[in-house]
């Protein structure tokens, strides 16, 4: 265990003082933050019908082109599952921290919308949002649908698809620019609940590591970036984020 790894939930004093002083925080979250709400992480085994598929096989434009119904139904299944979940302590604490630190910028790889439901604002949706639909052809946004077949676009008659970034697709320019600018200017960078395997999201963490920002990883498991972080807080986001927020309690 490197000297900066912490599994018992108390913050190193050096980190506490940095967090109290720092104004510009960037927090990047991955599916581990939604795990405690019951949303399976991306690398969790799929359940039921989907057990035979790898998410990375379904979350691609090629999969949608070759089998639009299967891909659409996978998203309908995920949407139904997500709608039954509620934000957990990690989401609500991040929304509170954003009120305490108005320059905190939240970038999420998650498409579940739980940060917004917990009250976070101006969330940078790096991989889009599962609740929105857009046309596979002309990209025009369309209404929600509970159909088990992809609806057709009322402009170009193309098939509607979820407004998420699939493997092999570019990150929306606005999200990429906003998050890169935020990382370039930040004092502290948190990587929370991500395996740091997906690019270019992981490139944001690497950008923070190459600057003089203080870098913190929160994850029960280690990732390829753990040993490079200034602090690795081993454990669930729902444990560590309330500890961090308690630094700003009135009586603390
Ligand atoms: C692109 C939306 C240009 C869809 C998602 C460079 C090197 C290597 C590969 C590439 C590269 N550049 C591009 C690639 C290819 C690819 C990629 O990264 N592949 C990887 C898998 C090797 N990237 C792309 O294709 C990206 N596009 O680069 O465009 C381009 C253009 C054309 C051709 C080539 C390149 C687009 C990637 C976006 C894919 N879309 N989601 C959908 O959701 O359906 S990504 C998907 O993975 C989810 O968004 C998820 O959030 C994300 C990342 O995974 P994690 O969030 O980290 O989740 P994971 O399950 O892996 O880990 C969970 C973690 O949580 C674990 O570490 C666990 O320990 C931890 N945890 C568990 N419980 C808790 C917890 N942590 C805290 N608290 C807990 N309680």
pLDDT digits (tens, 9 = 90+) for 132-171: 999 999 999 999 999 999 999 999 999 999 999 999 999 9
Per the structure block, which two tokens stand in for 67? 């089998």
Question: What mean pLDDT value characterizes the chain?
Answer: 93
pLDDT tens-digit readout, 59-98: 999 999 999 999 999 999 999 999 999 999 999 999 999 9
- Non-local CB neighbours of 177 within 8 Å, separated by 6+ positions: none
Give residue 1's pLDDT: 44
215's enclosing H/E stretch is: strand 214-219
Whether 36 is in the pocket of ligand 1, judged by its Cβ within 6 Å, is yes
Give residue 2's pLDDT: 46
Measured distance CA(191)–CA(243) in Å, rounded: 16
Nearest residue by C-alpha to atom 41 in ligand 1? 127
Span from the CA of 1 to the centroid of ligand 1 (angstroms): 26
Whether 221 is in the pocket of ligand 1, judged by its Cβ within 6 Å, is yes
Average confidence (pLDDT) over 199-206:
98
Residue 130 per-residue DSSP state = E
Span from the CA of 118 to the centroid of ligand 1 (angstroms): 23
* 15, 106, 228, 243, 245 from 22: Cα distances, Å: 10, 15, 20, 17, 13
Q: Which domains does the chain have, with CATH numbers?
A: 1-39+87-127+171-252 (3.40.50.1220), 40-84+133-164 (3.30.1600.10)
- Among 33-42, 112-121, 197-206, 231-240, the range scoring the smallest mean pLDDT is 33-42
127 an active-site residue?
A: yes
Measured distance CA(72)–CA(134) in Å, rounded: 12
Nearest residue by C-alpha to atom 72 in ligand 1? 32
- pLDDT greater than 80 at residue 126: yes
- Nearest atom of ligand 1 to the alpha carbon of 237: 78
The end-to-end CA distance of the chain, in Å, is 29
- pLDDT greater than 70 at residue 252: no
Helix axes 201-210, 173-185, angle to 10 degrees: 20
pLDDT tens-digit readout, 19-75: 999 999 999 999 999 999 999 887 776 777 677 788 888 999 999 999 999 999 999
Give residue 22's pLDDT: 96
Residue 34, classified by CB atoms within 10 Å of its CB into exposed (0-12), middle (13-18) or buried (19+), is buried
Span from the CA of 177 to the centroid of ligand 1 (angstroms): 18
Whether 193 is in the pocket of ligand 1, judged by its Cβ within 6 Å, is yes
Q: Say whether 183 sits in a helix, a strand or coil.
A: helix
Per the structure block, which two tokens stand in for 143? 């209404």
Nearest residue by C-alpha to atom 66 in ligand 1? 195
Measured distance CA(4)–CA(139) in Å, rounded: 46
- Non-local CB neighbours of 157 within 8 Å, separated by 6+ positions: 137
Q: Among the options 6, 91, 115, 127, which is catalytic?
A: 127
Average confidence (pLDDT) over 119-125:
98
Measured distance CA(69)–CA(122) in Å, rounded: 33
């Amino acid at each position: 265990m490197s000297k900066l790894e912490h599994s018992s939930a108390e913050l190193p004093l050096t980190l506490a003082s940095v967090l109290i002083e720092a104004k510009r925080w960037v927090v990047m979250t991955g599916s581990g933050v939604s795990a405690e709400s019951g949303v399976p992480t991306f690398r969790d085994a799929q359940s039921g019908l989907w057990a035979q598929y790898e998410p990375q096989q379904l979350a691609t434009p090629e999969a949608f082109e070759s089998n639009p119904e299967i891909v659409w139904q996978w998203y309908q299944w995920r949407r139904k599952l997500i709608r039954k979940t509620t934000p957990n302590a990690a989401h609500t604490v991040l929304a509170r921290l954003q009120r305490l630190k108005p320059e905190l910028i939240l970038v999420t790889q998650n498409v579940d919308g739980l940060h917004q439901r917990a009250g976070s604002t101006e969330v940078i949706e790096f991989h889009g949002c599962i609740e929105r639909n857009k046309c596979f052809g002309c990209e025009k946004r369309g209404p929600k649908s509970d159909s088990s077949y992809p609806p057709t676009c009322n402009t170009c008659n193309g098939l509607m698809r979820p407004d998420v970034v699939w493997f092999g697709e570019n990150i929306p320019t606005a999200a990429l620019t906003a998050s890169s600018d935020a990382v370039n200017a930040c004092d502290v960078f948190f990587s929370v609940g991500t395996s740091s395997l997906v690019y270019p999201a992981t490139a944001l963490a690497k950008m923070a590591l190459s600057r003089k920002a203080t870098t913190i990883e929160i994850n029960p498991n280690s990732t390829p970036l753990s040993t490079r972080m200034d602090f690795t807080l081993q454990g669930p986001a729902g444990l560590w984020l309330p500890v961090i927020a308690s630094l700003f309690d009135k009586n603390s």
